Amino acid sequence: MTLPAINASLNATAALLLILGMIFIKRDRKQAHGYTMGAAFVVSCAFLACYLYHKYSLYHDTGKANTAFAGPQPWKTIYLVMLASHVLLSITVPPLAIITMRHALAGRYEQHRRLSKITLPIWLYVSVTGVLVYFFLYRWFPA
């Protein structure tokens, strides 16, 4: 399995864990929710480490840190809009996730609940669009 495929798998796993964590809290299974969201955070950290290593390796091997989109123009526009929103929102996920989790761990459940209504959709969007980026670049329109 290549690093991009591993990264997509980690993003997909994070997305599934986020959804599962949401289901657990809606069913008042707080301990399961906490473990699942903690696992989502660990998986996302593993993704970030693999992603940064992939960028380093790609630059080292090719002199370029990014993979060019090889698809036709109508799809390129869709891809670039999605990529731009993915990148911009991905910058917000680590601080949002950390602050949201710190509220929960400190027992500040009202603040945790309020911030999670912002954090969860952004984190989920970034995880899902990360998988889509992989499919656009390596499966649907490979170079």
Q: Architecture of domain 3-140 in CATH?
A: Up-down Bundle (1.20)
Predicted local distance difference test score (pLDDT) of residue 28? 97
Task: Name the percent of the chain in helix, strand, coil, to the closest 5.
Answer: 85, 0, 15
Does residue 133 sit in helix, strand or coil?
helix
pTM over 0.75: yes
Predicted local distance difference test score (pLDDT) of residue 141? 96
Q: Rounded to an integer, what distance in angstroms lies between the CA atom of residue 39 and that of residue 41?
A: 5
Q: How far is Cα of residue 129 from the mean position of the Cα atoms in its chain?
A: 8
Q: Rounded to an integer, what distance in angstroms lies between the CA atom of residue 39 and that of residue 93?
A: 15
Q: Rounded to an integer, what distance in angstroms lies between the CA atom of residue 79 and that of residue 69?
A: 8
**Extents of the domains making up the chain:** 3-140
Q: Rounded to an integer, what distance in angstroms lies between the CA atom of residue 60 and that of residue 64?
A: 8
Predicted local distance difference test score (pLDDT) of residue 36? 98
Predicted local distance difference test score (pLDDT) of residue 65? 83
- Here the tokens at position 45 are 């950290």
8 A C-beta contact, residue 42 and residue 18: no
The residue type at 10: L
Which stretches of the chain drop beneath a pLDDT of 70?
Answer: 1
Predicted local distance difference test score (pLDDT) of residue 119? 98
Predicted local distance difference test score (pLDDT) of residue 27? 98
Q: Which residues contact 5 (CB under 8 A, 6 or more apart)?
A: 134, 138
